[in-house]
Structure 1
Amino acid sequence: MCNTSLHAFLAALPKAEHHMHLEGSLEPELLFALAAKNGITLPVSTDPAFASAESLRKRYEVFANLDDFLGYYYIGMSVLLDGSDFEALAYAYFAKAASQNVRHAEVFFDPQAHTDRGVELSTIVESFKRAQARAAADFGMSTELIMCLLRHLPLPSAMATFAQAKGAGYFADGTLAAVGMDSSEVPFPPPMWKDLFDAAKELGIRRTCHAGEEGPPLYVSQALDLLDVQRIDHGVRALTDGDDALVTRLASSKTLLTMCPLSNFKLNCIDSMSSFPLRRLLDAGVRFSINSDDPAYFGGYILENYCALQEAFGLGIRDWEMIAKGAIMGSWCAEERRAQLLVEVEDVVNEWARQFEEQ
């Protein structure tokens, strides 16, 4: 947690989160509790990190790369079996996010990782819906679900899952706000998924895609051109590899980048927090949000990400106002909700600006 004079302000600032995998919020303590409840044997015989929640959390501190992390991520998912498990997972995240003043959250989930284990899609989605309803009632938080398909599985699997969600009416009734694409990036470039994204576009479904985390800036361009996405998840390579034309394009189109600083650092996508392209984002006028990605694995939720950037860059209140408002403007919520959240940001910013002026 940061020790700067702006820490209390950052804690109070209303936040919108757009890049958070619900399965990535599975804390080791809940993982072990659900494993015991469901009779799941964790692979302690082959990996001593699974000896305890404490040793597993310590292992999470030293991921070598994206695939190293994903190995633990998918093992963790194996403990999620029934509706109460999925509801507990989602509600735990919403409660933590609310404690850090997240007012609107658009969260990912990976249905194939569960349906391939025999869990029904309806079990997953309906359980998350119950957690969303509780979060709205308990915290006044608005939330959206984004269904992500897994790149490392064959296209027919993604198409079948998409068709199942469509057939259940989850897109038509607004239960699912968008379709996304995640998991291992480099071996599976965006063109492989054109049929899926074309099908979503034909139905008027919003589209987003993980691109440019470990893959090159070309992946970001391909996601925009071939998949016609409306949002880019990560894109850090486009900002750090000097692709000026792409940065200009992102700024002029107001395409939201959902950036994840602690994740990028933990997965060795950037050398240090000071290498995160924050200043370039601000100077170029790119619309972006700061997010926690997989907070149980990367050592921090959204406030910890804000604090890490504040310690590295020493931003001012007006910088954070720009970031917070840009995130809200890029949100997939109703216009009325966006307007309400913008007022909340302005109220907090003005209050803290007066306090600093009086000091």
Structure 2
Amino acid sequence: MQPIAKFIAGLPKAELHVHLEGTLEAELKFELAARNAVDLPYADVEAMRASYVYHDLPSFLAIFYEGSFVLHQEADFRDLVYAYLKKVASQNVLYAEMFFDPQQHTDRGVPFATMIEGLTRGRLEAERDFGIRSQFILCFVRERSAQSAMAVFESALPYKHLIVGLGLDSDEKDNPPAKFAEIFRRGREEGFRLTMHCDVDQQNTHEHIRQAIEDIGVERIDHGANLLDRPELIAAAKERGLFFTVCPYANEMMRPGENQSIARGMLDLGLRLTLNSDDPAYMEGKYINENMLMAHELAGFGPEDFVTVSRNAFDAAWIDEDLRAELHGRLTAYAEAQLMVAR
């Protein structure tokens, strides 16, 4: 193992931008399909993975949504989150906040209770078995109606003690943050923390970023690359202390060959970025360590940069101050030991 890969592997980390449905590995997808008598149009795992070919956000989403059809029972959702947390605990992720998209499932007749109870069981069992702490962020699918999102929001209220925040993801075309302003207003009143996707190079992206910051009042932006185009948006983000959950592999998909200009640009401007994996099962199995290594190889991130990114992630996490202090303590101890040895 090269020295930087070893440093990344041991680095205490938090992951704040990962879609649970996007962690559904092909092996587990076949297992759940068999459990639920779902026919898959692939001969085997290799054929399924070979079908993961996309070139932009809509073509990726078509593949991403196909996988949700194998999730039916409480045990399926338990197995999904448990498998992800087991994997990233092995990469020294100490804490994770995971997106889930209820409309993918409730629209198929899966009760909200089935989903959240299964996810919660998997989360708690993973904490017991691997020591990893985690929470859930409920994401609304933006190409569906605001009425559909509100219905899911209402379904979630009895379980709000199990959900830390609200997010907004999927296809941005003609689906600005303002479409969901009332839901996010209510969410804030109910005590949810707020984030939104502003994907790379989407139609009207600068206005979407402005709405997310100024009109909705989010605490984090997921992706947010095009903020770098507008000095006034950079200034607004800095003034509000916003965090950005950046995903190197996803950025490489959208802007191939740019040497991770997004992560590099944000870091150099002093913006509070974190590094994350997004949808690793559909992105060549690149979980958080592999995404960090990509930032090193393509943008020259070094050990001090990765310590900064992890510190940002612990600061951005929606956790109590006791846990934050514990995570920072572990990061500081690691950084002092490793960087002193390196010097």
TM range, smaller chain: over 0.9
Aligned pair 1:284/2:275, yes or no? no
CA deviation map 1:145-189 (0-9, x unaligned): 0011111111111001101111x2x22xx2100111111112211
**1:32 maps to what in 2?**
30
Counterparts of 1:141-180 in structure 2 under 5 Å?
141-166=132-157, 168=158, 170-171=159-160, 174-180=161-167
Counterparts of 1:334-349 in structure 2 under 5 Å?
334-349=320-335
**1:73 maps to what in 2?**
64
Aligned pair 1:302/2:288, yes or no? yes
Q: CA separation in 1, counterparts of 2:171 and 2:146?
A: 14
Q: CA separation in 1, counterparts of 2:208 and 2:137?
A: 21
**1:58 maps to what in 2?**
50
**1:93 maps to what in 2?**
84
Q: CA separation in 1, counterparts of 2:112 and 2:233?
A: 37
Q: Give the C-alpha shift of residue 208 in structure 1.
A: 1.0
Aligned pair 1:102/2:93, yes or no? yes
Q: Give the C-alpha shift of residue 35 in structure 1.
A: 1.0
**1:197 maps to what in 2?**
184
User: Is this contact kept in 2: 1:208–1:231, CA < 8 A?
Assistant: yes
Equivalent of 1:311 in 292, 297, 303: 297
Q: CA RMSD in A?
A: 1.4
Task: Describe the SS at the equivalent of 1:288.
Answer: strand
Task: Describe the SS at the equivalent of 1:51.
Answer: coil
**1:47 maps to what in 2?**
none
Equivalent of 1:226 in 176, 197, 215: 215
**1:23 maps to what in 2?**
21
Q: Give the C-alpha shift of residue 138 in structure 1.
A: 1.4
Task: Describe the SS at the equivalent of 1:193.
Answer: helix
Task: Describe the SS at the equivalent of 2:297.
Answer: helix
| TM-score, length of structure 2 as denominator length | 0.95
Task: Describe the SS at the equivalent of 1:250.
Answer: helix
Q: Give the C-alpha shift of residue 273 in structure 1.
A: 5.4
Amino acid at match of 1:319: D
User: Is this contact kept in 1: 2:248–2:260, CA < 8 A?
Assistant: no
The structure-2 alpha-carbon separation of the partners of 1:36 and 1:273, relative to structure 1 and needing over 3 Å to count, comes to farther
User: Is this contact kept in 1: 2:98–2:137, CA < 8 A?
Assistant: yes
User: Is this contact kept in 2: 1:104–1:143, CA < 8 A?
Assistant: yes
User: Is this contact kept in 1: 2:213–2:236, CA < 8 A?
Assistant: no
CA deviation map 1:77-106 (0-9, x unaligned): 000010111100100000001011100100
Aligned pair 1:83/2:74, yes or no? yes
Number of equivalences: 340
Aligned pair 1:121/2:112, yes or no? yes
Q: CA separation in 2, counterparts of 1:23 and 1:212?
A: 18
Aligned pair 1:238/2:236, yes or no? no
Amino acid at match of 2:95: H
Q: Give the C-alpha shift of residue 9 in structure 1.
A: 0.6
Q: CA separation in 2, counterparts of 1:212 and 1:79?
A: 27
The structure-2 alpha-carbon separation of the partners of 1:308 and 1:275, relative to structure 1 and needing over 3 Å to count, comes to closer
Q: CA separation in 2, counterparts of 1:234 and 1:314?
A: 19
The structure-2 alpha-carbon separation of the partners of 1:275 and 1:319, relative to structure 1 and needing over 3 Å to count, comes to closer
Q: CA separation in 2, counterparts of 1:280 and 1:68?
A: 27
Q: CA separation in 2, counterparts of 1:256 and 1:139?
A: 27
Gaps of 5+ in 2: none
Aligned pair 1:263/2:254, yes or no? no
User: Is this contact kept in 1: 2:263–2:273, CA < 8 A?
Assistant: no
Aligned pair 1:274/2:259, yes or no? yes
Amino acid at match of 1:295: P
| TM-score, length of structure 1 as denominator length | 0.91
Q: Give the C-alpha shift of residue 231 in structure 1.
A: 1.2
User: Is this contact kept in 2: 1:185–1:214, CA < 8 A?
Assistant: no
Q: CA separation in 1, counterparts of 2:264 and 2:277?
A: 19
Aligned pair 1:10/2:8, yes or no? yes
Q: Which moved more, 1:201-210 or 1:341-350?
A: 201-210
Task: Describe the SS at the equivalent of 2:51.
Answer: helix
Task: Describe the SS at the equivalent of 1:108.
Answer: strand
Q: CA separation in 1, counterparts of 2:89 and 2:25?
A: 17
